[in-house]
Amino acid sequence: MTIIEHHSIKSSMARSTVPTIAGVEMWERFSFYGMQAILAYYLYSTVTDGGLGMEQTHATALLGAYGSLLYLFTFVGGWIADHLLGAERTLLTGALMLVFGHLCLSLVPGYTGLIAGLLPIAAGSGLLKTAAITILGAAFASHPGARDARFQVFYCGINIGGLFGPLLTGWLAQRYNYHVGFMAAGILMIIGLLSYAVGRRFILKNADDRLKDVIAKPAHPLGKQDYYRTTAAALACCIAGICAVLWLDPTTISYVLLALTVAVAGFLMWTMFRSPLVTAAERIKVREFLPIFVCSVVYWCLQSQIYGVLAVYSEQRLNREVFGFLVP
């Protein structure tokens, strides 16, 4: 292969990978933040207003539980990519789950639609986000400067989705009803899935052997016995989750999931310090990362209140009138 051909393939790879990954993440955030912006109001609004009539304290607690579940599934998404599907198929699976969840939330009424919608959305977001970051990082692993620039595009897509998603779904929910807002989130995610389905062909076609190994194959595939044990453990977790939803109130569930999230994060940190696969130089980098990790946790704890406590506050106590216009 000539140098010109090599650079041509690299250029094609950049042109196909960045728009595809940044695009599907933008549409996913468009739908996710759009759905989450109206979720609290849907939970505690009266049935006559199109909501579920839940107590406000239970509604905000349920949002907290949902947030914990979402971050737990990012750990699950990374594990599935590493051991079962590979990053690329994990991303595709996550996108399909998101479409299914949004459609259930918009089309199935009552608590049945709520549970059938939120669980796939949480799982799909966890799978898609971890896999998208893996693919984008692997595509430019040998070019740190180019990789940083591509991640700026990636996060620009997240910000676009996070800004316009709530504006659209909030307006539709107020103008029509909550299920129309949820349907808009579902349509946005369908657009994201279709755009990725088109772009993934170019990624796989232009990827070299190294990149294909990273994104298309699991890094540490399971043996047959491990696969059976993992399947049994997953079924046990599903049964435990169903029992918790049926028997526990939302506040208790939120505390349980919060404790589980902290425990899993702590276990992963402990693994990075104790694993023989981690070098001494890498452990130093992990220690340097800890202050950033703590600051990030504090930030996201505050940011997540936008969709729960601050959503209630904004509706009931905030003066939303600006120059005679009432902000929805």
Residue that wins the pLDDT comparison between 248 and 55? 55
pLDDT surpassing 60 at residue 123:
yes
Flag the least confident range among 13-22, 61-70, 240-249. Answer: 13-22
Total structural domains in the chain? 1
3-state secondary structure 97-130: HHHHHHHHHHHCCHHHHHHHHHHHHHHHHHHHHH
pLDDT surpassing 80 at residue 181:
yes
The whole-number pLDDT of residue 141 equals 66
Cβ-contact 210, 134 below 8 angstroms: no
Residue 321 structural domain: 3-326
The residue type found at 128 is: L
Q: pTM for this structure?
A: 0.84
Please write the tens of the pLDDT for every residue from 57-94.
Answer: 888 888 888 888 888 888 888 888 888 888 888 999 99
Q: What is the mean pLDDT of residues 128-155?
A: 80
Please write the tens of the pLDDT for every residue from 20-31.
Answer: 888 888 888 888
* CATH classification at residue 172: 1.20.1250.20
Q: Report DSSP state, residue 321.
A: E
Element (H, E) at 269: helix 250-274
The whole-number pLDDT of residue 316 equals 86
